Amino acid sequence: MIRLGILGAGARGSDTYGRWAVGHPERARVAAVADPDRHRRDRLGARAGVPEAHRFADWRDLVAQASAIGVDAFVIALPDRLHVEAALAAAATGLPILLEKPAAVTEEELEALASAARELEARIWIGHVMRYQPFWRTIRRLADAGSIGRLLTVRVEENIGFWHYAHSYVRGNWRNVASSSPMVLAKTCHDLDIIRWFAGEAPATVASVGSLSYFRPEHAPAGAPARCLDGCPAADSCPFYAPRYYAEALAATDGWPVALLGDDLSPQGRLDALRTGPYGRCVFHSDNDVVDHQQTVAEFPGGLTAVLSTSAFTGQNTRTVRLTGTAGEVAGNLRTGALEIDLFSPTAELPELPEARPGKSFTREPMGHRVFEVYAGPVTLGGEPDHRGHSGGDEALIDAFVTALEQNRDDGADRAAPDRTAPHRAVPDRAAPDLEASLDSHRMAFAAERSRAEGRTVHWGRP
């Protein structure tokens, strides 16, 4: 089995990657865990059977002892601003790395990571889970098969959901650029990665507009206090009233997002957390400064143009997409998994789509061209769309990571740290995505933020 060293035992490290390893004991196990919070590291350690001696308060100690413990690969799920430091240390061991996004929060750190990865021939997977979702993989199959002809436009809408935005980007960890990163990186590097994935090349230009327009002190209801539980006069009507969300609507939930309140998730524990912690703050009196809406346009050398629209002000928390090509178009909604595929030729047929379930087909006037409906995505036992684990992307990503390591081992790949004095040797990671292409999504995000802040179009590769 593959022995994982997990750096960071929060929601991603523990509840996503650690949980997968516990559920697949024949393929992987958590050999070591590092987290400064004893409760978090012991919770994962106990669940995964990690010996006390292999539970570390400092991730650096885990990396230093990885060889002695017998770690085969690292999972880095630390806070965003520690990603590069940890990835550089882990890469120096020669072991493969699954690195949560964003890979870096500044352009300088990103390029330092890219340079080190090239020099060390590091094997790094970035946590772009959307590539692994059946929904996006099905669309990619359609594009690769030539079903819609030459791809000319991509439009992705990131509908964050008003409640999700308030939780993560007003009250939560990603609310402030100084402590995290711009929202176009923290949230939509996933979407930019999908656009880059479809384009097959880096863009020529990037332009972006947007701002923080609403979640500001001047828009607070009259008399609104700093915290929701401090006697807010607008409690009954405010859609962002924290107790209604964390204590009432999510009363039966103890995972994300409620788990971020703290260890005591009893009704009283939740209220106590809202009285003192960040999630009980008025959304108009927080220290947030990231944008609440943004539109980004990218033009690619091959002629493709792409638009990414992001908004906090949506009722649904989902993504919608439309691709147009010279022979057809495809439109879809990630929440439902539904894809509608228009093929302009009256004799056109769909290629094989193994991750999709067929729906109805019909012709559309006035030309009588073919239209097909399919549904791509995991479903519950009752047949409804299953949105857990990023619509199947989380499990598919860690599965692909472990599968690649298993294949390398079967191929006789050397899992020991490489000899840096020997000639460089490529390591055949079959399922590893192109790291440079993955990092391009971050470069696109930085370019978009520079364009937004400076009011100009950014040309790729130029300051």
Closest CA to 181 of 101, 118, 244: 101
Chain centroid to Cα 259, Å, comes to 19
CA–CA dist 142, 13 (Å, integer):
33
Closest CA to 197 of 129, 291, 260: 129
What is the pLDDT at residue 404?
92
pLDDT in tens, 40-78: 999 999 999 999 999 999 999 999 999 999 999 999 999
- Pairing between β-strand 28-34 and β-strand 73-76 as defined by DSSP bridges: unpaired
Average pLDDT, the chain: 92
pLDDT in tens, 92-107: 999 999 999 999 999 9
What is the pLDDT at residue 423?
28
Closest CA to 77 of 141, 20, 23, 118: 20
What is the pLDDT at residue 408?
81
- Beginning with the edge strand found earlier in the chain, give each strand of the sheet holding 305-311 in spatial order: 356-364, 369-376, 338-343, 328-333, 318-325, 151-159, 305-311, 293-299, 205-211, 458-459
8 Å CB contact between 374 and 357: yes
What is the pLDDT at residue 239?
97
Three-state secondary structure call for residue 193 = helix
8 Å CB contact between 292 and 313: yes
pLDDT in tens, 403-451: 999 988 776 644 444 433 332 222 333 345 589 999 999 999 999 999 9
Percentage of the residues of the chain whose pLDDT score is greater than 70: 93
Residue 457 pLDDT level (bands cut at 50, 70, 90)? very high
Beta bridge partners of 170: none
CB atoms within 10 A of CB 236: 8
Closest CA to 2 of 98, 144, 88: 98
